[in-house]
Structure 1
């Protein structure tokens, strides 16, 4: 296996990515999230993620910001997407897949752009493209799911590959989809103000997995929400879920069970893609250990 595939969150890997930042100019792909801080609780992005290889993207579609993503150029996947949950007022849109032109050309327009054939070589080098997923046996897993977005334009904006990771079908349409529906139901029933959600991907700890030697496959998915304003008369059974809660889901049914145990009684199609619900503190502890970064997802722990 080549040295490139073996890269993980280490100093050596990060140094390889420094040249990318010399060509960046002001735009929606920028040095920080200053243009889209509203998608983060208290206008504060997650703290402790200081690696220069991660690229902030204010996801812009039809002249509006819709959510924010921190993109890993080396792995060609987002580390996370951050958004404000707002139940969909309509159906899942027909998927027109898009890319971020400023990842390829620093002076390009700031709007996400539909793929055209043939795909420009500079685009292919800078990010994942639609062809990476064709025949890969992986689904295109949304970090910001379209049905967590209110308007048609909001939902369309989630169909950019800078919001997508390779996800096993058993996870994407099984336990992980159930988690997304649970969060949506909890918001509708008990949240009295904005719910800020951050959903991300966790790479393999040592030997990484790739599709087509280009796009990193996550070993786990993770998600956390912050709802600081909620019903004052929460049922006792619901109280542990506010103001924050979190989860980690398996994206490899053969992974060890230290982080997420396997339910051996689950039906065969989803067995091994279990989701473990947990506190925000537990998730942050897992991320700190796996990513070797002092991560804090919500400012003041959403208090």
Structure 2
């Protein structure tokens, strides 16, 4: 797909059509064309199940400080999603197709209170890249193909969200309240932006940090770039006895305030274990260290260019 088309997903798969040993007779052009005519349609039907290219970049780079996406946070079966709704891209998400949760969502903070009609959405191009790029309303009874490609509303029913006697619910990584128009608020309700979050945390200290604490931090900032992500956990939700959605062990937020020249002025980070109602501040250096430990590779947020002093909070997580 072309970048100018604001592609929702950036596909990847290496297809080996045939292998020739040295000295083998190579098919002539006619035979080759006949083989391609047979193979290409097959590739097209399978394309929706292939991985998104490792090392590729988001086309919606406007949601990252200096246009640089984080490094080191790409899962094995990833999908880069430019979240498109009502003809506009609203934020970017790195999605884990295997665990059926977002690893992070990135956006620009632009808060304005307001009401809207809440509906939940799914990403049609996770089902098949031939589908349209805009998110679609989640049907009451999702098809088998949708269920195989991502989380669905049924996964988030109350009876499926009780994990070891703790109640979880839908936790938005990119929160509704950080946006100033109806369509952007609606776009955050795609299930590709949602993870199972401890209900007490979601409605408790996390809400306080998303609200008052973030609002105070952004005062005086020309722009604030935000990345909200997770560390995947060992537990899963089950729907009809089927293992479905990963329950993150931690949820974290990193925000970078920049001035009119685009230079970073300050950093705000916080993190929570996803099994109790407690949030702690964390520096950029320590957050990157913690993520490196969890993901097994060097992690850089904001291209390493946002001010943040080192502390030792990671030792407590």
Please indicate the TM-score interval, normalised by the length of the shorter structure.
Answer: 0.7 to 0.9
Q: Which residue of 2 aligns with 1:141?
A: 171
Q: Which residue of 1 aligns with 2:154?
A: 131
Does the 8 A contact of 1:57 with 1:71 survive in 2?
A: yes
Q: Which residue of 1 aligns with 2:219?
A: 189
Give 3-state SS (helix, strand or coil) of 1:90's partner.
Answer: coil
CA distance in 1, matches of 2:14, 2:96: 11
Superposed displacement of residue 201, structure 1:
1.1
* Aligned residues between the structures: 249
Matched, 1:102 2:125: yes
Q: Which residue of 1 aligns with 2:291?
A: 287
Choose from 300, 305, 313 the match for 1:301: 305
Residues 194-249 of structure 1, C-alpha deviations (whole Å, 9 max, x = no match):
10000011122xxx10001100001110110111228xxxxxxxxxx951121111
Which structure has the greater CA radius of gyration? 2
Matched, 1:160 2:190: yes
Superposed displacement of residue 49, structure 1:
3.3
Give 3-state SS (helix, strand or coil) of 1:302's partner.
Answer: coil
TM-score by length of 1: 0.76
Does the 8 A contact of 1:148 with 1:184 survive in 2?
A: no
Superposed displacement of residue 183, structure 1:
4.1
Does the 8 A contact of 1:140 with 1:166 survive in 2?
A: yes
Does the 8 A contact of 1:99 with 1:112 survive in 2?
A: yes
Residues 265-297 of structure 1, C-alpha deviations (whole Å, 9 max, x = no match):
xxxxxxx32111011111111000111121101
Matched, 1:87 2:111: yes
Superposed displacement of residue 52, structure 1:
4.1
- Structure 2 matches for 1:190-205, cutoff 5 A? 190-191=220-221, 193-204=222-233
CA distance in 1, matches of 2:131, 2:173: 25
CA distance in 1, matches of 2:245, 2:193: 13
Q: Which residue of 2 aligns with 1:211?
A: 237
Distance 1:120 1:249, change over 3 A: same
CA distance in 2, matches of 1:47, 1:153: 29
Superposed displacement of residue 117, structure 1:
3.2
CA distance in 2, matches of 1:274, 1:289: 21
CA distance in 1, matches of 2:85, 2:140: 21
CA distance in 1, matches of 2:73, 2:215: 30
Does the 8 A contact of 1:141 with 1:172 survive in 2?
A: yes
| Structure 2: segments with no counterpart, 5+ residues | 1-11, 16-42, 162-166, 308-317
CA distance in 2, matches of 1:220, 1:163: 15
Give 3-state SS (helix, strand or coil) of 2:248's partner.
Answer: strand
Q: Which runs of 4+ in 1 moved over 6 A?
A: 18-22
Q: Which residue of 1 aligns with 2:270?
A: 247
Matched, 1:178 2:182: no
Q: Which residue of 2 aligns with 1:74?
A: 98
Greater relative CO (CA pairs within 8 A, separation 6+): 1
Does the 8 A contact of 1:81 with 1:199 survive in 2?
A: yes
Give 3-state SS (helix, strand or coil) of 1:190's partner.
Answer: coil
